[in-house]
């Protein structure tokens, strides 16, 4: 399902109101029959390619990936950009509103500090 552009409050509302338990049940059914499946989740795409992807693994746990652009200067002069991904593979679902807030606030340091590298 796709949505139009949202702010952090709308993003939190979408995540909190979606039937993730139903999605997890469907994933379990696919898994038990040997069919291909992936964990249910949602992603948010920023203006310059930064992405937050949240996947639900149980009623209380999630994992998330944060893809972002790191900008540095080589020798203090030449700007270089590289795309990096940081993740947290066992995160409390109850804290996802904070993750979404900081993603939309472009609080890069906060997000990186909540990941495992």
pLDDT digits (tens, 9 = 90+) for 2-56: 667 889 999 999 999 999 999 999 999 999 999 998 899 999 998 878 899 999 9
Q: For the sheet containing 41-45, what is the strand order?
A: 41-45, 51-56, 61-74, 78-92
H/E segment holding residue 87: strand 78-92
Q: State yes or no: pLDDT of 78 exceeds 70.
A: yes
Distances (CA, A) of 59 to 21, 34, 94: 6, 22, 10
Nearest Cα neighbor of 20 from 5, 4, 42 is 42
pLDDT digits (tens, 9 = 90+) for 56-69: 999 899 999 999 98
Q: Global pTM?
A: 0.85
């Amino acid at each position: 399902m796709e949505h139009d552009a949202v702010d952090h409050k709308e993003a939190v509302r979408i995540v909190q109101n979606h039937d993730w338990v139903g999605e997890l049940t469907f994933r379990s059914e696919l898994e038990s029959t040997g069919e291909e499946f992936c964990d249910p989740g949602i992603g948010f795409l920023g203006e310059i390619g930064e992405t937050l992807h949240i996947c639900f693994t149980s009623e209380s746990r999630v994992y998330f990936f944060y893809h972002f652009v790191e900008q540095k200067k080589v020798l203090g002069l030449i700007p270089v950009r590289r795309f990096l991904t940081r993740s947290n593979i066992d995160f409390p679902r109850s804290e996802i509103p904070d993750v979404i807030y900081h993603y939309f606030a472009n609080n890069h340091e906060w997000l990186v500090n909540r990941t495992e590298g």
